[in-house]
Structure 1
Amino acid sequence: MPIEDALPFALPFVGKEEEEAAIRVLRSGWLTTGKETLAFEKEFGEFLQDHSASAGSSNSPLFCLAVNSATSGLHLALEACGINSGHMVLVPTLTFTSTAEVIRYLGAEAIFVDVAPGTFHMDPKALERTLKMLPLGIAKAVMPVHYGGLVCDMESISAIAKKYHLKIIEDAAHSFPMGEITGDAAVFSFYATKTMTTGEGGMVVTRNAEMAARMSRMRSHGIDRTVWNRYTDAKASWYYEVTAPGFKYNIPDILSAIGRAQLAKADDMLRMREAIAAFYNEAFAEDPHFTLPPKGGAWHLYPIRINPERLSITRNEFIEKLQEKGIGVSVHFIPLHTMPYYKKRYNLADEMYPHAFESYSREISLPIWAGMSKKQIERVAEVVKETALEYTL
């Protein structure tokens, strides 16, 4: 199939609003972190509050801190929780590498947890089993991942965290918008494929004022004053103090401006994703070759699973056939316990995480992005179903 006919796995939904926002910043004379970022943080917090009110959320204030990536946000959140060498942090094995790598940045150890049977989410039962096997008090935090835009069983995870005195950092990279911030902090991603994007970027959200203050300083070299404050304060623009050896994690205003434009259309983009998921659900509902994903959430992914007993080819071969027919697909995720670094460091094996490996070995992420045409959506479903029929047992 000619490359121009290939359907991509993901595309950003951007238009004149984002273009005008970028131009506005370019013409302003201020490109780094400044008033656009402050406005983005404020509007993001208001958006979350508006969307969590129906869920009976807390009325305590949200502190939102824009950063240059969700990975940076996760690192800042863990650092603000006091995670350091000698500590252990529990994460699901079925996640992207950033969830675990930030633990290693701080010298702590990542402890992997299996997902619940037939799901993509951390299993609370496996979490508690794992905690019982660790030395008392060495585990300091848990990082549940809201896979694909669907929130984990946070009620059970929160109860376990309280029992074992664990901090909770929610990896919400897939889950904007999300109904409620349950943990000590939640981190959203604005990477190019996410439900809203700034190209690169992220947002850390917390209700803890002390954590917010620490993360605010640490995202910009540990300096006690922001660049915007120093350069707009005529009284002492040059003076600042370094309170800790921080990081370079601030986001430039040009990306924040794009984020504000995306935020204004976030509800529309979510409705588009919901419509695509509804079409796929109906198309594959009665097909014995597939298992549908759990319903609900932000639909960042549409992770359908093949039923291997119905097919004469493997999942990997199925993907190759789809790509040959011009359908862009992906896999989420290759479990971290299979990655050479973690496998060797912790002496891990597939049988230690049977449910994560089973879900991974069957999963195919189908195209789902705001702006997909009806023709494109129909084409995806048609090609996937036809391919299954070609190789049915």
Structure 2
Amino acid sequence: MNGVTGRMGTNQHLLRSVKAIIDQGGVKLSPTEVILPVPTLVGRNAVKLAALAERAGVERWTTDVEAALEDDDNVVYFDAQTTDRRVEAVKRAIALGKHVYCEKPTALTTEDALELYRLAEAAGVKHGVVQDKLWLPGLLKLQALRDTGFFGDVLSVRGEFGYWVFEGDVVPAQRPSWNYREQDGGGIILDMLCHWRYVLDNVFAPVESLTCLGATHVPTRWDENGEPYDVTADDSAYATFELEGGIVAHFNSSWTTRVRRDDLLTIQVDGTKGSAIAGLRECWTQSYGNTPKPVWNPDVPQPIDFYAGWLKVPEQRPYDNAFKTQWEMFLRHVVTDEPYRFGLLEGAKGVQLAELGLESWKTRCWVDVPALT
């Protein structure tokens, strides 16, 4: 597990996924068989690694990534490094015959992302890319509504994502500084359009075209050492997508917005028979029969309580951590050949959408999304 001393690597992948899988006794295959992962933690800072290994109860850690890759006991390579370091490390792992699981974006360019996919296929190794939001309880509830025909014909999808990330001078920043430097692989378009690609493709319909406007609203931030730096990457993105079947989707993504909604991410789906709004965990619905009939009149106080007409979707099944769920799926795929479709090609599709979003911003034009193979 390379890059696990970072925020996501530590919390979501090591502690809440791999350690949680170990603590539960592994991934159960049958009454007599389980998959029990044995992690080797890899990073550049020995002090951080030693502390993290002790915290997680992990015995194996090293700052020598090459030695870890050459160790036959390590059959899966996981990468949670910064994006600019990912391609070469994943290439090396593939060349040594390791199965590969990695964070997104898988690369900074579509060309590099596709090369990783083709190399993995040629080498015959199994591969996966983190697509965590598909297993969030709120989105699973949306998918259940879709599958039962609740929406009728889906007309539009509207997503609001983000929060205020402090600049770091007076209040410490809650995201790492590299996120705001283009030269280090930062930028919200590269980060979030990869997410919106797999959400739209898998929950609603394939993306066919897009237009995207990026912005750098906060030009100066302060790094982990308290030093000011120029922000060279976009911190906000406003993107509209045309999906197969005429569905229109729009997503606002921002690290410079203050939240007055139900969650840090909300997705509203409007259909001919009903609508739903999902957050990370909860989902609310309004059917055709429960839809109010407002009349525009700004001269009187609004008589309708628009929140009252929405019903909360009940908990109809247990929901595990989204990252852990996908880890379990990938481990089963490696060990048992269970089908798994969230590989490096899907990762390349996310990079492609981000790259086309940057192109749209630069040219101020709609951009078609060609198929990748």
The TM-score with structure 1 as length reference comes to 0.25
Higher helix residue share: 1
Higher strand residue share: 2
The TM-score with structure 2 as length reference comes to 0.26
